[in-house]
Amino acid sequence: MPQNLKSILVAAAIIQKDNKIFIARRSPHKHLGGLWEFPGGKIEEGETDEECLYRELQEELGITINVKEFFMNNIHNYGNITINLKAYFCEIKSGEITLSDHDQYLWVLKNELDNYEFAPADLPFIKVMNAN
């Protein structure tokens, strides 16, 4: 891959509670600021996807989670950057949600996801969830 085409691995948690899903809005100053996403972040060198999610959700939301199962991934080209976004179904093990990286969060029903403007890389996840 040419030097100027950066590709990064990102893990995202689809946290389920009862019949709802957790979504969070990216802070305005960040890449894709103002768009909704599933919390997570870049997978660091030597880290498994599960370790990444565990770390990111502690950092970003102040919770500990169980990673239940892999859902699907999507490779998306944002122009200057290509991300391989890997989504996992998760559940909260302990802690109360405290935002440090996002400016808003919501628990929504699967069929309400369409009402929110998500980061483009997440759209296939929503399509598949709504089809099931």
The three-state secondary structure class of 98 is coil
Q: How far is residue 92's CA from residue 64's CA, in Å, rounded to a whole number?
A: 6
Report if residue 88 touches ligand 8DG, rule: CB under 6 A.
no
The three-state secondary structure class of 30 is coil
Token look-up 């979504």 returns 23
Report if residue 6 touches ligand 8DG, rule: CB under 6 A.
no
Report if residue 14 touches ligand 8DG, rule: CB under 6 A.
no
For residue 84, give every residue at least 6 positions away whose Cβ sits within 8 Å of its Cβ, in sequence order, or none: 7, 8, 9, 10, 73, 74, 75
Q: Which is nearer to ligand 8DG, 27 or 111 (CB)?
A: 27
Q: What burial class does residue 36 get, using C-beta atoms within 10 Å of its C-beta: 0-12 exposed, 13-18 middle, 19+ buried?
A: buried
| Window contacting ligand 8DG (CB under 6 A); options: 34-42, 62-70, 91-99, 104-112 | 34-42
Q: Which is nearer to ligand 8DG, 41 or 54 (CB)?
A: 41
Single residue of 83, 90, 92, 113 touching ligand 8DG by CB under 6 A: 83
Report if residue 38 touches ligand 8DG, rule: CB under 6 A.
yes
Return binding residues: 26, 31, 37-40, 60
Binding site for ligand 8DG (CB under 6 A): 10, 12, 30-32, 37-42, 83, 85, 119, 121-122
